[in-house]
Amino acid sequence: MSDYNLTVEDLHLINTRKGLKELLKHKHIDWKKIVEKLRYEDELVLLQAELNKLHKWIQTDKRRVAIIFEGRDAAGKGGTIKRFAQHLSPRATRVVALPKPSDVEKGQWYFQRYVSHLPNPGEMVFFDRSWYNRAVVEPVMGFCTKQQYDQFMHQVPEFEHMLYEDDLVLIKFWFAISKEEQQKRFKERKVNPLKQWKLSPVDQKAQGMWDKYTVYKENMFSHSHTSYSPWIIVEANNKRQARLESIRYVLAHFDYEGKSDAKVSLHPDPNVVMRYHRHSDHSD
């Protein structure tokens, strides 16, 4: 305890049922980590309450909102989507995580199977990976031809412009992590029986093909970062911070009913969430 001076506020956090549970989980008590987690959870609850307000407004106004989560393997996309959708009405919320295309889908227009999952009026849809598979994963892993890749890169800005003209709100997140952090998370997945399902053959090759991923990722940004559909970079080496700030970004994006009564900051940290800029530095 000498390494960390607890404030009255810190003691209040720990002296709760949730705080005491956290204490009992740890044989060797690290006060700082426990307080940080409690603060994170308290702020997450407040942001999720705001998401509920936003969601009700989207349903009432019949808005259509699609949020894409892209990034390298183990960047924290799925965990963030879980926090977004955790307390939203399942009747107006969908999470889309498509498997590899069937033989029939392989013969269709590439965007066709994604179009069928776009939000209906009054819905929010979260894409755990999206049509941007063809921009990075597929060419890196050899799952598409050069002609298919080139056609996609030509069509994607036009496709997204059609969505924009049709008043569909599209938010594109790229979760950025360092090579070292990715390696650390892969190691955790290997030893944690509850996370081993997350490992795939593609994951196994990710570290060895890091530089190739980088080339295609940057090419994707340069071709598909537009004024009407920009890429939003989320620094994701810190999972909790990435979750809070990406939620904050979405809330800041809309002028929903009850926003002015928020009991939590709705201004995302510009050092964590930022628009893509050529030559800008980020983790990956």
Domains and CATH numbers, the chain: 61-275 (3.40.50.300)
Reported as a pLDDT band with limits 50, 70 and 90, residue 94 is very high
What mean pLDDT do residues 210-224 have?
96
> Given a cut of 80, is residue 280 above it in pLDDT?
no
> H-type helices in the chain, by residue range?
8-14, 17-25, 31-61, 77-85, 103-106, 112-115, 137-141, 146-165, 179-191, 201-206, 210-224, 239-253
What pLDDT does residue 237 have? 97
Neighbours of 193 (CB within 10 A): 8
* 20-29, 104-113, 188-197, 273-282: segment of lowest average pLDDT: 20-29
Beta bridge partners, 232, equal 173, 275
How far is it, in rounded angstroms, from Cα 4 to Cα 17?
A: 22
How confident is the model at residue 8, as a pLDDT? 62
The predicted pLDDT at position 17 comes to: 64
By C-alpha distance, which of 177, 171, 132, 176 is closest to 249? 171
Shortest CA distance to 282 belongs to which of 40, 67, 71, 130? 71
Please, which pLDDT band fits residue 206 given cuts at 50, 70 and 90? confident
Question: What's the rounded mean pLDDT across residues 48-58?
Answer: 98
Section 30-43 average pLDDT: 83
Other Cβ atoms less than 10 A from the Cβ of 115: the count is 11
| Separation between Cα atoms, residue 250 and residue 176, nearest integer Å | 17
